Structures are given as structure tokens and as C-alpha cells.
Amino acid sequence: PRLLGENKVFYGAMCFYLCAFINLIFATSRWQVALAGMCYGFGIGFGFPLLNSAAVRSVESNRRGRATSTYMAMQDVGSSVGSTIWGMVANSNPFTTVYSCVFCVAVCQVISYTLLLRKKAQPGEKTLREILHLDHHHDHGCEGHCHSCASKCEHTPMEELKALMQYMVGHNAAH
């Protein structure tokens, strides 16, 4: 999440999560169900830890343990209650209806994240592009401002990694 940003990772994870339910709604074979399971796993595996970090970030440092345990406890309660409710819905409806409803709930989750938890850029926070151009040593007339350079300078992966590592060392030393 630190390289791509929490929002991009969360929205990517939720795309996998939503694709899982779309696959289940239209599944006609075992491989589609298996694909849905893989998508669900990626969605849960990448997305929900970010929600835990949002809970931890919202409290003072001496209360982070309490925030994590509260988040995990509520996740367990939600899983238990949700499984019971969806089980009752599944008893009286076809599975396509159940998965369609779960898809709608997942869309509501994405909307809730966008409205309530989406991490805003902090004042002074640098973008990855700005980080990569902090230590710009080669010159071809852009004076270190490659994003506006007409020649569209290409950075080698090693230059990008070096700039990122230098930024991280300096940033961590400051804290």
C-alpha cells in the first residue's frame, strides 16, 4: 500500500471482491466458482487489512491495541451475524438472488469507504512521482522537472529504486 497508496490498493481489492460475486451470480461451472473463490480471497486479503489500519490510525498510539482488538471482534460479530442472515435469505431464495444482494452490500461498502475512510493526502505529503524526482542527477534540459520535460525522460528501474530508498532513509531518519 505504501508504494501504490492505500486508496488504489483498496479499490483494486474491492474490484476483485466484487468480481467474485459477479462470477458467482453467473457461474455455470466449477472453474467459475473456483475463479470466484480466488477473486474473493484477493479482495479480502488485500482490502480488509487496510480497514484495520484505518481503525488503528484513528486513535492515539497508546490505544492501538484496543482499536485492533475492537476491529477484530466486530469483524467476528459481523461474520457470525452476516452468515446467519445470509443463510436465512438463502433458504428462501435462489443463490443468484443471494449473491446479487451480497454484491449490492459490497458496493455499499465501497461507497462507505469513499465517503468515510478514504485517506486524504496530508499537507507536505509527497507523491511517488515527486519522490522519484528528488535526486535527479541526469540532465537533458529539463532541470530536474521530468514530468514537464518534452523529451519524456525515462528512468531506469535502478534510478527509481535508488531515489525511493534515499527518500525512505531520509524520511525514517526524520522520525
pLDDT in tens, the chain (175 residues): 567 777 788 888 999 999 999 999 999 999 999 999 999 999 999 888 888 887 787 778 888 888 888 888 888 998 899 899 989 999 999 988 989 998 999 898 888 877 776 655 555 555 545 555 544 455 555 555 555 555 555 555 555 556 555 655 555 445 4
Helix (H, G, I), strand (E, B), or coil: what is residue 61? helix
Largest CA distance in the chain: 70
Buried b / exposed e along 101-119 (16+ C-beta atoms within 10 A):
bbbeebeebbeebeeebeb
Q: What is the pLDDT of residue 63?
A: 83
Cell of 157: 528501474
Task: Transcribe 114-166 into DSSP letters.
Answer: IIIIPPPPPTTPPPHHHHHTTT----SSSTT-GGG-TT-PPPPHHHHHHHHHH
CA distances for 93 relative to 19, 88, 99, angstroms: 21, 9, 10
Q: What is the pLDDT of residue 110?
A: 85
DSSP type of residue 58: T
Cell of 72: 477484530
Q: What is the pLDDT of residue 145?
A: 56
CA distance 13 to 104: 16
Which residues does 5 contact at the CB level (< 8 Å), separation at least 6? 119, 128
Instruction: Report residue 68: phi and psi, to 5°.
Output: -65, -45
Q: Is 20 exposed, middle or buried (0-12, 13-18, 19+ CB in 10 A)?
A: buried
Q: What is the pLDDT of residue 11?
A: 86
Say if CB 128 and CB 120 are below 8 A apart. no
